[in-house]
Structure formats: structure tokens, C-alpha cells
Amino acid sequence: MKRLQKDAVMLSLLEEMQANGSWCGETHLQKATYFLQELLEVPLGFDFILYKHGPFSFDLRDEITAMRGDFLIKYKTRPYPYGPSLVLDAGGARLKEKFPKTISQYSKTVCFVAETFGDKGVSELERLGTALYFTRRQNGKDEPLDLQMHKLKPHISPEEAQEALQKVADIVKMAKKAKLVQ
């Protein structure tokens, strides 16, 4: 996918997340994009690593900065305790108008991610993103994934890890039932 097409999909995701209750800070966009790309196989081309608050892409962070520089998105301040939200800027709506086919092609997956994750807080998104990361990158260890998650991220209890793994399994089933993934 070319850069401007990718940006159009991201702008759609941002709008859908907001419509589904997300205040759309950068962390929300990072995690939503991770699910869009890794769970639903939308070819955005970002490299994600497991970072201190779950899957994170430095490429995506750079793209968000570029989108701000291109006046596609901007920060909107929010009252304490929230950080700023990302919202469409003047150029964002114009860019979306140029890529209706791309937006339409991925609209079901974008809506699925927004509806599934839009109302989640940062802590839950971290747990769910980390659970998907571990699920997708099983390393052949005999140790259960919930304990592996807890060892790497001690602030996530084994019980929270198990709950997140189960929720991710349920989300995968929902995506398959909706024919969004194989």
C-alpha cells in the first residue's frame, strides 16, 4: 500500500475510533493500528516490537509525525487526566476524498477494530495487544503464555494475562465469523 493510501486508512480508523468512544491518543492509534495490521491483515507495513506498554511501532510514530506535518491530523488538548487526542486536520478530509476505493476496501476491518477497541482504556489495550503479540509469536516454550506475559511484564498479573489471552481468542473468533480473516 502506498503512503497516501495508508494515511487515508489511518484517518478512517481515527474517525471510526472516535465515533466508538475512543479519545484517540497516540497510544490508542498505535494499538488500533496493530490490531488492524496484525489481526486483520491490512497491509499497512509497520514494524511492531513489544515495548514497555505493549506492541509499538517507531515507523508508525514517525508516520503520525509526518501526518501532523502534512496537516492531515492535529493534536486536540483534553482535560486532565487525559493527554491530547489526535483529530483530523484540514488536509485529512481532503485526503480521504482522494482515496474512496481504498477506504471502502478496508472499511469493514476498520469498523471492526473501532467497534471492538474504541471504548478500551490504555491499560486494557496494552494487555490485549500484548496477548495478541504473544499469541502470534509463540516461541515453542513449554511455559503457558499467561506466565510468559507476566514474566516480561510483571505489572500484568497472570490472571489479567489469561483474561487478555481469552479475550483475544474471542476477538479472533468474531473476526473469523465476520469473514474478516481466514
pLDDT at 139: 67
pLDDT at 77: 93
pLDDT at 78: 86
- Residue 141: CA count within 13 A, CB half-sphere: 12
Q: Each residue of 70-123: pLDDT tens digit? A: 999 999 998 887 789 999 999 999 999 999 999 999 999 999 999 999 999 999
Average pLDDT value for the chain? 95
Contacts of 29 (CB under 8 A, 6+ apart): 10, 13, 14, 17, 60, 64, 86
Inform me whether the pLDDT recorded for 174 exceeds 80.
yes
pLDDT at 53: 87
Cell representation of residue 59 = 515507523
Nearest-angstrom CA–CA distance, 40 and 53:
21
Q: Is the dihedral of CA 27, 22, 85, 63 positive or negative?
A: positive
Mean pLDDT value across residues 29-48: 97
Inform me whether the pLDDT recorded for 49 exceeds 80.
yes
- Helix then strand then coil, in percent of the chain rounded to 5, is 60, 10, 30
Mean pLDDT value across residues 135-145: 80
Three-state SS at 56: strand
pLDDT at 140: 67
Contact of 138 with 45, CB cutoff 8 Å: no
Inform me whether the pLDDT recorded for 25 exceeds 80.
yes
Nearest-angstrom CA–CA distance, 2 and 167:
32
Mean pLDDT value across residues 147-157: 92
